[in-house]
């Protein structure tokens, strides 16, 4: 257990180093900050002065050290476009994205697991075959197409649900939540469905495959031979075992969801980090790009590590192996 944790921590450090280095490179070398920040008619002397003021005349390794130092203090510079501290911008956008991802994940689990179980229990029924076929369409449809179609049907045609934004949000300290207002909840419906759709398919297919695997194992055959009721076998034994990998994948997919939220947020004008990032990309707003990368990097490795640890705690085999 301890060894596993240590090796994971080492890997986290490694990833963070790499990500910080990339962020630094973006920050420092992609587009000369001096040229970006100085007037077009600035003199050479003025530029040199600015260069010194920004600390860009120091050796690269010193600059990198300073960059790491600043990042560690949460100072990620100012956005070129919004002209505000990047850390603040990200903090402001974070709740929107996390709430969207949370709802989408829950939705994916609530829909995906039952469908997967159903398909595994009746692998040859027409219904599960149709579900399977539809799921293939699901992973073949790009998120943005799903989003546009949903907006057309539910916002424009039926006028049931809002098509953009977060609705009214309630401020809880620095966090803003859309969970506490009707308009906030209504606004969540379409984007979270859009974001969850791909995950539903993934989880469904995974649960089905795992269930089929487990159901054909000796252990279940033995349980059947003992004459245990099939409901008990399916629920208590098979599903429990089949859900193990689902935990891992769902955990890992949270990272992917944060990234895919970029697309969903663009379609629905959802004021989260993804929208911030995509606008930074089209406006070449380097500090925001670098900061987003750093932030998402931290997020991903943390999630990955947590998943590993949870998995180790839950899975007895890994636990004994660790000891």
Q: What is each CA distance from 42 to 23, 38, 50, 83, 139, in whole angstroms?
A: 28, 6, 10, 21, 52
295 binds other proteins (CB under 8 A): no
84 binds other proteins (CB under 8 A): yes
Contact 287, 80 (CB under 8 A): yes
Query: What is the DSSP code (8-state) at residue 175?
Result: E
* Measured distance CA(261)–CA(275) in Å, rounded: 8
Stretch that binds other proteins, among 98-106, 121-129, 139-147, 235-243 (CB under 8 A): 139-147
Q: Tell which one of 296, 307, 308, 312 touches other proteins (CB under 8 A).
A: 296
Q: Tell which one of 108, 109, 202, 237 touches other proteins (CB under 8 A).
A: 202
Following CA atoms 184, 188, 189, 190 in sequence, which dihedral angle do they give, to the nearest 10 degrees?
A: 130
Q: How far is the CB of 42 from other proteins (least distance, A)?
A: 8
Q: Return the number of the residue (89 or 233) whose C-beta is nearest other proteins.
A: 89
Element (H, E) at 171: strand 170-172
* Measured distance CA(40)–CA(204) in Å, rounded: 56
Q: Tell which one of 6, 18, 52, 306 touches other proteins (CB under 8 A).
A: 18
148 binds other proteins (CB under 8 A): yes
Q: How far is the CB of 214 from other proteins (least distance, A)?
A: 15
31 binds other proteins (CB under 8 A): yes
275 binds other proteins (CB under 8 A): yes
Q: Tell which one of 1, 4, 5, 15 touches other proteins (CB under 8 A).
A: 15
Element (H, E) at 176: strand 175-177
82 binds other proteins (CB under 8 A): yes
Q: Tell which one of 140, 216, 320, 323 touches other proteins (CB under 8 A).
A: 140
Give 134-157 as a 3 state SS string: HHHHHHHCCHHHHHHHHHHHHHHH
Instruction: Give the closest residue to 204 by CA, choosing from 253, 151, 144.
Output: 253
Q: Return the number of the residue (109 or 151) whose C-beta is nearest other proteins.
A: 151
289 binds other proteins (CB under 8 A): yes
241 binds other proteins (CB under 8 A): no
38 binds other proteins (CB under 8 A): yes
């Amino acid at each position: 257990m301890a060894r596993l944790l240590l090796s994971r921590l080492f890997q986290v450090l490694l990833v963070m180093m790499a990500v910080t280095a990339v962020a630094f490179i973006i920050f420092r070398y992609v587009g000369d900050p001096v040229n970006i920040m100085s007037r077009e008619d600035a003199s050479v002397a003025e530029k040199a002065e600015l260069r010194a003021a920004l600390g860009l005349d120091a050796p690269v390794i010193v600059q990198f050290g300073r960059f790491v130092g600043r990042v560690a203090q949460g100072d990620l510079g100012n956005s070129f476009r919004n002209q505000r501290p990047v850390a603040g911008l990200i903090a402001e956008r974070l709740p929107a994205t996390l709430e969207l991802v949370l709802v989408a994940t829950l939705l994916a689990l609530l829909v995906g697991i039952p469908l997967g179980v159903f398909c595994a229990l009746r692998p040859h029924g027409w219904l599960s075959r149709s579900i399977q076929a539809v799921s293939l369409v699901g992973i073949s449809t790009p998120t943005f197409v799903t989003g546009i179609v949903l907006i057309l049907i539910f916002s424009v045609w039926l006028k049931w649900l809002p098509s953009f934004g977060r609705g009214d949000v309630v401020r809880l300290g620095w966090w803003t939540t859309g969970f506490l207002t009707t308009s906030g909840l209504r606004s969540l419906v379409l984007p979270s469905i859009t974001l969850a759709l791909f995950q539903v398919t993934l989880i469904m297919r995974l649960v089905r495959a795992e269930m089929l695997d487990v159901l054909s194992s000796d252990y279940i055959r033995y349980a059947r031979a003992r004459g245990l009721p099939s409901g008990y076998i399916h629920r208590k034994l098979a599903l429990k075992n089949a859900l193990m990998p689902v935990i891992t994948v769902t955990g890992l997919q949270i990272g992917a969801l944060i990234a895919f939220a970029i697309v969903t947020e663009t379609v629905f004008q959802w004021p989260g980090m993804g929208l911030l990032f995509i606008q930074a990309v089209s406006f070449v707003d380097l500090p925001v790009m670098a900061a987003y990368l750093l932030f998402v990097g931290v997020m991903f490795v943390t999630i990955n590590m947590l998943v590993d640890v949870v998995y180790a705690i839950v899975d007895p085999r890994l636990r004994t192996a660790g000891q």
